[in-house]
Structure 1
């Protein structure tokens, strides 16, 4: 069966494996002090405008969010996020387990937090003595329903956060797809966020996220916290190699452009068949609304998630294309769809 359930079903881009194999018997320093990690940090620093000491390689996305938010927030501070945010419902309460509250904002169907959403929230805040304080706005790009923030939206949110005394944190698990679909650059993120991470796991890497603590005040002691939480890989070279290969040229965004292009082919087929989408397609995540009978037949040959029940007869499914999605598999899916409609 062809898998459209996620964008991490395949291993990793061959160039990463080739570098791992070529370097396998080299003796390198541990804990990210190897030459590959050093070079990768240098590349990220140059792209974002931070110092190399502000870049941290962490194995897993949830672990990255957990480390960053637990280190950034004081015990009396909380985070604000869209109700569809990854930290809200698919991280097993990782943030809450550290003692930090997450306030959920109702957003438009694309999952993007807008200034209007924040204005509603702050408008309802009561001036109560000894109340917990909002400190961090969590957003993800792309969002959990495939929404893509434009540069202008990031700039506006950055200015609003500064006005309200909030830190802007961007989850970049699918940042590659967002960058491939917009004009947003690493330099922009280094200018307009306080912290963000570059996701490799869902962008052609074997594993790994590169956390960039843009705001230098957040950097103090973070390497110690990372070690305390068991997130410092002894064989750190394997994380460094991911980002060295993906970022030394344009591979990171080029792979995402392929994923987005494969998704676009499916979008055109859905439109031609007269089907609507739960959220406007913008990236490699698609949420078409299909008849349940069509879904049942597609599920015999293709793997995907039933995402949201629309009514008795229709359901929104989630289809995700990846850096490694074969065009012939997309074409076969489209032919199958046509045969059922």
Structure 2
């Protein structure tokens, strides 16, 4: 089907809508790293910048040092691995969604620590009390089964949906009833907090979970995640950091970045931009009659389209083919970031509109 290029340079490289970490870091963070570069600081996270970053994060949460410890790690996988390994005995298991990041995208990192994953089907990308209760009931043949001890969830979810305060409160209450800990993966917690569907504060999340972490890698930082651990679970946590290679000598690098993200509203400003770009893409798909697989609540768009359209778009844009359907359609995942260029979004939308119109014309002739 003919299509006119919207790019004057046929050799222009595809623009990435594949993830939210293709770019480096926000200029304010780079400037802060340069500004503090020559100062001598204590190593292993004992530097002034890390101390200030921890306090700024506590201020956003509205909690005190007596309530929570905060630890910086370089990656999301290390955040999940260390958080789980720190509070489970060898015979204890993790309940997670089948689509959970620790189940699908971390190369068996949790299993490598000796902990079984109990997989549960998602509902709109999220855990429900009913499915959690069923998983518990099906894993009670002790001591012949691993003992469920921790619930792992993500906010935003793997399909970009967010938990409401009521949903998280119901899960939290059930976890307390069942003597389960709850860990919230916060790789995209910034976009979740800035979603139009969000009705929670950081304090709400702190009160309703046992451990959660704040993602910096997908929020404009070069790297780094901040794990927020309630005091009851934080004793000895730093030893787990060291044993898993996450206690960086130059911990200041992460401290400076989180200090810059949280000394103002930069963290939230960048997440809001990512969400707005995704909403613009999603609205265009809906207006053109394409079906969304999941409601666009944060910075991920899941949409079905003809395989031909996906192939044409991939000449100009990079994104994931998430699933192949039987009817010649594919599910595409598009992810926007803190740095997504709105002009590129407009070009993407124009390409989709152009091909869709051409396809309809071809079908009627």
The answer as to 2:150 corresponding to 1:136 is yes
Shift of 1:124: 3.0
Give the secondary structure class of the aligned counterpart of 1:312: coil
Counterpart pick for 2:118 among 100, 103, 126 = 103
Say if 1:126 and 1:35 are closer, same or farther in 2 by CA, change over 3 A. closer
CA distance, structure 1, for counterparts of residue 206 and residue 138 of structure 2: 32
Q: Specify every segment of 5 or more residues in structure 2 that has no aligned partner in the other structure, as ranges.
A: 1-13, 357-365
The answer as to 2:49 corresponding to 1:36 is yes
Give the secondary structure class of the aligned counterpart of 1:287: strand
Instruction: Decide which structure has the larger Cα Rg and report it.
Output: 2
User: Which digits, 9 at most, give the CA deviation of each residue in 1:148-177, with x for residues without a partner?
Assistant: 111221111111100110001000000000
Is the CA contact 2:213–2:225 (under 8 Å) kept in the aligned structure 1? yes
Shift of 1:222: 0.7
Give the secondary structure class of the aligned counterpart of 2:217: coil
The answer as to 2:347 corresponding to 1:332 is yes
Q: Specify every segment of 5 or more residues in structure 1 that has no aligned partner in the other structure, as ranges.
A: none
CA distance, structure 1, for counterparts of residue 64 and residue 320 of structure 2: 39
The answer as to 2:206 corresponding to 1:190 is yes
CA distance, structure 1, for counterparts of residue 143 and residue 108 of structure 2: 27
CA distance, structure 1, for counterparts of residue 266 and residue 94 of structure 2: 33
Instruction: Determine the structure 2 residue equivalent to 1:60.
Output: 75
Is the CA contact 1:263–1:283 (under 8 Å) kept in the aligned structure 2? yes
Shift of 1:254: 1.3
Say if 1:287 and 1:218 are closer, same or farther in 2 by CA, change over 3 A. same
Instruction: Determine the structure 1 residue equivalent to 2:127.
Output: 113
Is the CA contact 1:285–1:320 (under 8 Å) kept in the aligned structure 2? yes
More off after superposition, 51-60 vs 246-255: 51-60
Give the CA RMSD over aligned residues. 1.2
Give the aligned length. 339
- State the TM-score, normalized to the length of structure 2: 0.90
CA distance, structure 2, for counterparts of residue 121 and residue 50 of structure 1: 35
Is the CA contact 2:139–2:145 (under 8 Å) kept in the aligned structure 1? no
The answer as to 2:121 corresponding to 1:123 is no
User: Which digits, 9 at most, give the CA deviation of each residue in 1:20-60, with x for residues without a partner?
Assistant: 11111111111111111000011122333142761000011
More off after superposition, 193-202 vs 303-312: 303-312
Instruction: Determine the structure 2 residue equivalent to 1:153.
Output: 167
CA distance, structure 2, for counterparts of residue 30 and residue 279 of structure 1: 44
Counterpart pick for 2:59 among 38, 46, 51 = 46
- State the TM-score, normalized to the length of structure 1: 0.97
Instruction: Determine the structure 2 residue equivalent to 1:240.
Output: 255
User: Which digits, 9 at most, give the CA deviation of each residue in 1:174-211, with x for residues without a partner?
Assistant: 00000001122211121111000000000111100000
Instruction: Determine the structure 2 residue equivalent to 1:204.
Output: 220
CA distance, structure 1, for counterparts of residue 137 and residue 242 of structure 2: 40
Instruction: Determine the structure 2 residue equivalent to 1:272.
Output: 287
The answer as to 2:297 corresponding to 1:320 is no
Say if 1:270 and 1:78 are closer, same or farther in 2 by CA, change over 3 A. same
The answer as to 2:313 corresponding to 1:298 is yes
